[in-house]
Each structure stands twice: as structure tokens, then as C-alpha cells.
Amino acid sequence: MTARLTRFDWYAYLRALRFSLYTMRRPLDGFWDLIHEKRGSMAAAHTILAIAVIVQIMRLVLTNFQFININMEVFSAWWVLGQMVIPIVLFSVANWCLTTLFDGKGKISHIYMGYAYAMVPQIIINAVLVPVSHVITYSEGMIHQMTTHIGTLWFVLLLLCAMKEIHEYSFSKAILTTILSLFAIGVMVFIFIMFFAVVSDGAAYFYSIAQEAVFRIRRG
Amino acid sequence: MKFILLTILAVALFSAPVTVYASGSGSSHYTYTYNEWSVPIPSPDAYRVTAFILGEHLGIGHFNNPRDLQVWGNLLYVADTNNNRIVVIEFHADGTFELVDVITHVYINGEPSPFNRPHGMFVSPWMLNYGQKWIADTENNRILHTDENWNVLTVIDRSKLELSALEDDRHFLPQKLAVDFSGRLFAQVAMVNRGLMEFDNDGYFAGYMGAPDVTINPWQRFWRSIQTREQRERGWLFVPVDYNNVTIDNEGFLFVTSSGPDVEPVRRLNAMGADVMIRNGWEDPQGDLWWGSAGHISGQSVLIDVTSLPNNTFVVFDRTRGRLFAYDNQGELLYAWGSYGHHEGAFMLPTALESMGFTLFALDATTGAITRFDLTEYGRYINEALTMYQRGLYEESYDTWQEVLRMNGNFNMAYIGVARALLRRGYYRDAMELFRMQNDNANYGRAFGFYRRQWMEEYFWMFAVALGVLIIVPPVVRKVIKVRREILES
């Protein structure tokens, strides 16, 4: 068995990255080509996610305090990383689990790519808003707020388009499966939390039994 | 023997000053405030106990379950509820006090009529009815309106109410009273949750006003819908909560307090009964923001009385932990102090709070004691600065706020006061920096707006030049190139 050692194709990578600007403007066409014409790549999707994390951290830290004010004593970049990465991973898994039951054509990697590409306009808007926040005043905060909302709305619409094209669904079915995958994410989180709670309780139980035994033995 | 003598001497020497001079020790009542992240931080004492008054000190026996205080001029009226009397104490400018009168009954048409558990009273400071008195004679189910000399003018009882005003089986139990400058009487009545009862000049019931509205969010609604009846009864009750006190401030607005999880605990009502309190602070006035359950005391603050000070700040009294919270007219916490307990400056069952100028009187029903608080130097500076701000003397308050900061570098209101003064003087950058430090984004925005305009005015020429260069240079360059080419070609 020979490992395929090909040189990393920087040109294709950059082309895939640049394609995100196309999906942003022509989502229906773009997300179809992203998967079926192999115009996107996982490497580009990872990059977009990394940029999203960096932009989010910058947004929280560098935005003028008039609009976003975070107590730096309790701020943690790892927390932001989790906030960005966990949703995309959970969404990919939950959506894939659901859509395989609903005749979805997409693979996990496709969903991951679709989600990542859908984030692009929001990333751009948030990045632009950081310097803008330093030249507008609190009373002009409406601009900041509205633009943020536009970014979020754009992201949601792109995500729906991506789901529609990746799974070859009708638009209503894409909305339905997306909402259902949100519920699935909730269930997964719940099970995770319960699992860890049970495990830690169980561990504590056996630990205390062991301790009790040690004390008894020591006392003789 | 010598040792015993020495011991006795030592005890006599050291204990005597302590008992006499117990007041004024800062450690007994811990003062704190909240910083810009709503975290409690210690603060110097703004108020200090200057007198601790028991009924015995006045030679009239212990107060028994006193329920209300009322200040009029330099007189303090105490509703000594379970002794069925009203005690009048006069305070002199030098801090001494003396008993003026003990009222146990009034005369109705010449007949003496004793009180039965009076819970509250009001003495009018207004021009129209100066010095007239209203007494909530609770267990006699009546409110007595008397002239200055306790001669009854009107008796307000059930006959003055409409039939629908109270449910039939309910007694009319007036507790706390306030009268506005037009002679309208507002009564807080026990077991009435439709607001304050309003009576006109002749003592006739005019209607309810200012009913506390209760908000219930969808989550609570959902949660209640899946609860069993028993759980629901044990849980929060989503009925309108009755007010537990009413006071009128010097501008004629009613201050009311109420206890309950879903209502504003302290409100300032206008003549229509609408809440007009300004709540510009990060947190609304509500007493403690964080609490534990140490010493079997748990739960949020329950505000049972409020008093308004001359510079429109107000102080509320918390029954849960015996604490007093002072807020400025924007709803920002200035300082909180007091505690639960038996020592001086602490309370077992707070019932009433009154102010005489900036002096506070706090009443405790269990110990039957009136605690007098006076401003310390620190508190005086803060209130002086706030008074200046109230009058619009922003720039003049600068030095006073600096003085406050010298005593307490953790007091966020002082930084904001300094920054406001700087803003008025045109030091926008410095003001911005201070507002930034205190997370005051609205004021920062204002300062920044001015700074931005100043900056634009100063550097506008750069933009103008840049624009001019952009407009003029390309055609010139093009022309030059063209001419050069023509020369070269020719």
C-alpha cells in the first residue's frame, strides 16, 4: 500500500477559497457547484472556520466597548473556539444523521463545507464592523446592531440554500431538516451532559468506596 | 488581691468609654457598593450611627412593635403600634432630643376616642394643609384626619368607601399614608392588591391607583402549566403583589415599595399612578444583586420602606438583611450598609425609614429602637456633589468628586462625576478614558461624539488636501505625459 504523497495544490486551494465569495452572492448556483463540480475543498472550509474563530475573538476583544463590553478578567479565547467549532461539528453530525433518513444526498464533509462557506458573509461583516465601531458613537449604535443582524440573517439564508443544494431538497424540506437538526443538537448535548454527569458521579462513588476501604484498613 | 483590684480597675477604665462611645465605630456596620461589573466592593462608611433611641431613654417605657415613623420639621412621630400611642420626639440642631408628646387618643366631637394599633401616620408639609395629621388607626378600621392640635376633622371608615371598594369579608385595615399637596390621601391598606386607595379632600374613596403590574414570561407560563396544584401553591404566586409602604417626596411624587419576585421593588409614581422612576444604572434599584443563604437568611432583598432625600436621592430599607441602600436620582447605587443582628447599626425586623434633611431614622419593630444615622465626611462629600449635579453645577462638582475619590478610589459614581465635569470643560479625551473605565457606554458615546467633531475640525484640511490632490494630480500627470510624448514624437 502506497501513501499518495502529492504536493499540496496551493492554486486549487486558493481557488476553492475564492469560490466562497461566489457562493455568498449566488448561493443556489454556488452551493450546487461547491459539491457537484468540486469547486470547494475541505482545506478551504477549515481555513474559513479558523478565520471565523479569529474574527470572532477579534470582534469580542477589539470592538469598541460601547457596543460589546466583555469583562477581560473572565474572557477566554478557548471558550470562543468552542463556541465556534462545537456548533459546526454538532450540526454536521446531527444534520447528516437526519438527512440520511430523509433521502439527503450530502455527506458529512459536504455539510461541513456548506456550513463553513455559509459563514463567509458574516465573517466579512463582523470584521468590517470592528474598525467601524471605533468611529461611531453609542447613539449611532443602531447601525452596528442592524449590520450585525444582517450578517446573521445572511448566514441563515446561505445555510438553508446550502442544505437545499447539498441534499437536493426542496426549499421547505431544507428548512424542516435544518430545524430538526437543531433539535437533534439539543438531544446530543443533553445526552453528553447526562453521560458526563453519570460517569463523574459513578467515579466519585467508587472513589469514596475505595477511600473508605483505605481508611478502614489503615485503622486496622 | 492586688491583681483583682487591678483587674477591676482595668475593666472600669476600659469598659466605660466603650459603652459610652460605642457609636461611630465603623466596623459594626459594613458599607459596600457595586463596581462597574456589579461586583460588591467595600466602601468607607457614608452614614454612621449617631443615636440609638429606646422608649426608656424618653422615660415612656419600651416601644412595643412600632410600625411607622414620620418626620415633620424637626419632629419625629413614632407610631408605637402595640402601645396604642403616637410618640412625638423633637430633635435639636446639636443632636440632642427630647420627648414632646405622647398621644393615645383624639377627640371626636369632644368625646375621647383612643387609638387601636395605629400602623402609620402622615403630617402634611404642604401649604394647603400645613401641619394637619392623618393617622391610620388600623384596628379601629379608620383613618383619622386631624388638625394641628389633634382635633378630628374627618373620620374615614367603611362608610366613606364604595361598596365595591373592598370585598365584603375584608376589614378596612389602613397601614401607611401619604397626602399630596392638593390634599389627596393615598393609603396603603392591608390585603388590598389593587394598588393604593385614593381618597379625595373630603375623605371619600376616589379609586385605586398605581396597581403593581405583574409580568409573567412564557417560560414561567409553560412551567406552571406542567406543575401540579401543590407545586403551584408552594411556588411563586403570580397575583399582583400589594404595596407595603408609601411615602411622598418633596416634588409630590409617591414612592412605593412592594415585595415579590416579579415586580419592581421600588417605584416612583406620578399623579396618574404611572411609574416614572429613572432606572439608568446597570441594575435597577432592588437591593442586593448577589446573595447567599448564610445564617438562615436567604432570598432576595425585600424592600419595606423608602425615603427621599433633599437632592432627590433615595434610600430603601431591606427587611431580609436589615440593610439600607442609597440610590441617586438616576437609579445608581451609592452605598449600602447595615446588617441583621442585635448590635448597633443592625436590625432584627426593619419596619420604617424616614429622613430629616440628610439624617436618617430607621425603626426596628423587634428591638423597638430608633437608630439615627448621620452622614460621615465621605457621605457629605458625595451628597454635596450630587446636589451640585442636581442643580446643574457640573463643572463645580469636579473638586468635590475629586475629594470623594481621595477617600475611596473604588467609587464608580465619583469617576463618572469627574468625567462629566471634564466633558463640560471640553476635556473629551480624559472624560472618555474615565467613562471607559466605568463601562459607561452612553456617556462615553457623548464624549466621543464631541471628540470626533473636534478631531474632524482639526484635521479636515488633511482630507481636503488629499481630496484636492486626488482630483488635481491625475489630469496634470496625464497632461504632462501627453506633452512629453508629443515632444518625443516630434
Question: Average pLDDT per run of 10 along chain B, which is 490 residues long?
Answer: 44 37 47 87 91 90 93 93 93 90 88 91 91 92 91 86 68 90 90 85 86 72 77 60 86 87 83 87 86 80 92 92 92 91 89 94 93 94 92 89 92 91 92 91 92 92 91 91 90
The kind and range of the H/E element at A191 are helix A171-219
d(CA B316, CA B362): 10
Interface of A with B in 125-144 (CB under 8 A): 135, 137-141
Joined grid coordinates for residue B286? 432592588
For residues B92-109, b (16+ Cβ closer than 10 Å) or e, as one string? Answer: eeeeebeeeebbeebeee
Q: What is the per-residue pLDDT for B22?
A: 36
d(CA B429, CA B113): 69
Q: What is the per-residue pLDDT for B344?
A: 85
Place of cell 449617631: B50
Q: What is the per-residue pLDDT for B8?
A: 43
Q: What whole-number percentage of chain A has pLDDT above 70?
A: 97
DSSP assignments along B294-306, one per residue: GGG--SS--EEEE
Please list every residue in chain B whose beta carbon sits closer than 8 Å to the beta carbon of residue A139.
442, 445-446, 449
Q: Taking CB atoms and an 8 Å limit, are B448 and A137 in contact across chains?
A: yes
Q: Is B379 helix (H, G, I), strand (E, B) or coil?
A: helix
Residues of chain B with CATH 2.120.10.30: 44-289+297-375
What is the pLDDT confidence band of residue A3, given thresholds at 50, 70 and 90?
low
Q: What does the angle CA B381 – CA B382 – CA B386 come to, to the nearest 5 degrees?
A: 115
Residues 6+ apart with CB under 8 A from B291: B298, B299, B300, B301, B320, B321
Q: Which residue type occupies B169? A: D
- Closest to B441 (Cβ–Cβ): which among A71, A73, A138? A138
- List, for residues B171-225, the tens digit of each pLDDT value: 888 999 999 999 999 999 888 878 888 999 888 888 888 876 666 677 777 777 7
Per mean pLDDT, which range of A155-159, A171-175, B6-10 is the poorest?
B6-10
A189: nearest Cα among A118, A91, A81: A91
Is A72 within 8 Å of chain B by CB?
A: no
State the helix-helix crossing angle for B412-425 and B377-390, rounded to 10 degrees.
Answer: 40
- Closest to B444 (Cβ–Cβ): which among A71, A138, A140? A138
Neighbours of B377 (CB within 10 A): 14
Most A CBs within 10 Å: which of B34, B36, B41, B441, as the mutation test of the A interface?
A: B441
Most A CBs within 10 Å: which of B438, B439, B448, B450, as the mutation test of the A interface?
A: B448
Strands B339-340 and B346-347: parallel
Q: Taking CB atoms and an 8 Å limit, are A66 and B452 in contact across chains?
A: no
Residues 6+ apart with CB under 8 A from B204: B160
d(CA B156, CA B174): 10
CATH fold, domain B44-289+297-375, is Neuraminidase (2.120.10)
Q: What does the angle CA B427 – CA B430 – CA B436 come to, to the nearest 5 degrees?
A: 135
Please list every residue in chain A whose beta carbon sits closer than 8 Å to the beta carbon of residue B445.
66, 137-141
Chain A, nearest residue to B438 by Cα = A65
Joined grid coordinates for residue A138? 453609542
d(CA A66, CA A136): 9
A65-82 average pLDDT score: 90
d(CA B473, CA B63): 92
- Cβ-Cβ contacts under 8 Å between A and B: the total is 31
State the helix-helix crossing angle for A42-62 and A108-118, rounded to 10 degrees.
Answer: 40
Is B380 within 8 Å of chain A by CB?
A: no
Measured between CA atoms, how close is B32 to chain A, in angstroms? 21
Q: What is the per-residue pLDDT for B15?
A: 39
Please list every residue in chain A whose beta carbon sits closer than 8 Å to the beta carbon of residue B441.
65-67, 69, 138
Q: Taking CB atoms and an 8 Å limit, are B439 and A139 in contact across chains?
A: no
Q: What whole-number percentage of chain A has pLDDT above 90?
A: 81
Q: Is B119 helix (H, G, I), strand (E, B) or coil?
A: strand
Q: Which residue type occupies B469? A: V
Q: What is the per-residue pLDDT for B264?
A: 83
Is B445 within 8 Å of chain A by CB?
A: yes
d(CA B373, CA B337): 11
Chain A, nearest residue to B440 by Cα = A66
- Closest to A71 (Cβ–Cβ): which among B37, B436, B441? B37
Measured between CA atoms, how close is B43 to chain A, in angstroms? 22
Q: Is A106 helix (H, G, I), strand (E, B) or coil?
A: coil
Q: Is B332 helix (H, G, I), strand (E, B) or coil?
A: coil
